[in-house]
Structure 1
Amino acid sequence: MTTIRALPATFGSDLVHGVGAILLYGIVGLLLMFAGFYAIDWTTPGKLSSLVHRGLPNAVIVTASGLLSMAFIIVVAIFNSASDLTAGLITALVYGLLGIIVQVIAVRLLEWATRIDVGKTIEQEKFQPVSVVVAAAHVALGLVVAVAIS
C-alpha cells in the first residue's frame, strides 16, 4: 500500500524556521526603528516626541517622514540580508544601523545647505509649508540610502 502525503516531509521544520525568522527579523526591525526615531529626535532641535504629543503639525510631519524613511532603509537592509538566518540578522542589523547614520547625516547636511531652520519650523503651532520640504528630503534621502544598501 502506498502512502500519499499532502505535505512535504520537511514542512513542519520549514514552517518553524520561517516563523522564527519572521519573529527575529521583526525584533531587529523594531530595534532599528527605535534607533532611527531616537537618531532623528537626538539630531533635530527640540524634543520631537513631546512636540508630537502636543500635536504640533510640523513636528508630526517631520517625524512621520523620518520614520518612513527609516522604514525604507530597514526593509531594504532586511530584504538584502544573507540567506543564512544568523548572517542575515547580523547583516540586516549592521546595514540598518549604517543606513540610519548615513540618513541622519544626509538630512542634516541638506537642511544646512537649504538654510531651513528645522527647530523653529517644528515648534510652530500652525502648519508651515517648509515642513513638507523637510519631509520630502527625509523620504527622498531615505530612498537613496535604501537603494545604496541594495
Structure 2
Amino acid sequence: MVISHFINVSIEILIYFLVSILCLFIGRKVLDWITPYDLNNQTSIEKNLAAGITEAGFYIAMAIIVHASVSGVVDYDMFSFIDSENPSRYSLLGAELITTAIYLLLGLICLSLGRRSLDWVTPFDLNKEIETERNVGVGAIEASIYISIAIIIHGIIV
C-alpha cells in the first residue's frame, strides 16, 4: 500500500515537473515572439546585460505563473469526463493538467499585454534602450514589470 502510494505520487511529481519544464519552454517562445530584437544574440553573443536582466525577469515571472498554475483551484465539476460518483486518480490529474494549461495561457497573455502596455506608456523606445543603448535600468524596469504582473496573476489564481 505504501509503495503503490509512493509510486503514484512519484509519477504525479514527474508529470508536473515535465509540464513545468514545457511551460518554461513555451514561455521562452512567447518571450521571443514579444521581443522585437534577437534575444539570444543580445544575451549570448553581444553580452547585453540589459537584455539579460529582462530575460531573467521573464523567467522569474514564468516560474511564479507556473507555480500558480500547478497549485491553482480546479473546478472538477466542469469536466464531463470525471465520474462524480467514483473519480479516478488519472481523470482528476487530467482535469488538473487542463486547468494548468488554461492558467498558463492566461498568464502568458497577461505578460504579453504587460509588455505592450509598458511600450505604450513609456516616453522612450524600450527596445532601442535595451538593444542599442544597453540601458540596464530599462532592462530592470521591464524585468520588474514582468515579475509584478506574475505576482498579481499568482494572487488571482491561487
Tell me which of 62, 66, 73 is aligned to 1:74.
66
Q: 1:22 to 1:81 in 2, by over 3 A?
A: farther
Match of 2:118 in 1: 110
Higher relative contact order (CA 8 A, sep 6+): 2
- What letter is aligned with 1:111? D
- Cα distance in structure 1, aligned partners of 2:33 and 2:141: 20
| Count of residues in Structure 1 that have an aligned counterpart in Structure 2 | 141
Match of 1:16 in 2: 7
Match of 2:84 in 1: none
Cα RMSD over matched residues?
1.8
Note if contact 2:130-2:138 (Cα within 8 Å) is conserved in structure 1.
no
- Cα distance in structure 1, aligned partners of 2:25 and 2:56: 13
Match of 1:94 in 2: 102
TM-score (norm 1): 0.85
Q: CA deviation at 1:89?
A: 1.4
- What letter is aligned with 2:20? G
- Cα distance in structure 2, aligned partners of 1:118 and 1:14: 51
Pair 1:33 & 2:41 matched: no
Note if contact 2:114-2:145 (Cα within 8 Å) is conserved in structure 1.
no
Q: CA deviation at 1:12?
A: 1.1
TM-score (norm 2): 0.81
- Cα distance in structure 1, aligned partners of 2:97 and 2:51: 32
Which sections of structure 1, spanning at least 5 residues, go unmatched? 1-9
Taking every aligned residue pair, what percent have the same amino acid on both sides?
29
CA deviations over 1:45-104 (Å, ceiling 9, x no partner): 201122111221011000110111011011111012548222111211221122111221
Which sections of structure 2, spanning at least 5 residues, go unmatched? 75-88
Query: Looking at CA atoms only, which structure, 1 or 2, has the larger radius of gyration?
Result: 1
- What letter is aligned with 2:71? F
- What letter is aligned with 2:39? L
Q: 1:30 to 1:116 in 2, by over 3 A?
A: farther
Pair 1:47 & 2:42 matched: no
- Comparing 105-114 and 48-57, the one that deviates more: 105-114
| Equivalent position SS for 2:136 | coil
Match of 1:56 in 2: 48
- Cα distance in structure 1, aligned partners of 2:150 and 2:13: 23
Q: CA deviation at 1:41?
A: 1.4
Q: CA deviation at 1:126?
A: 4.5
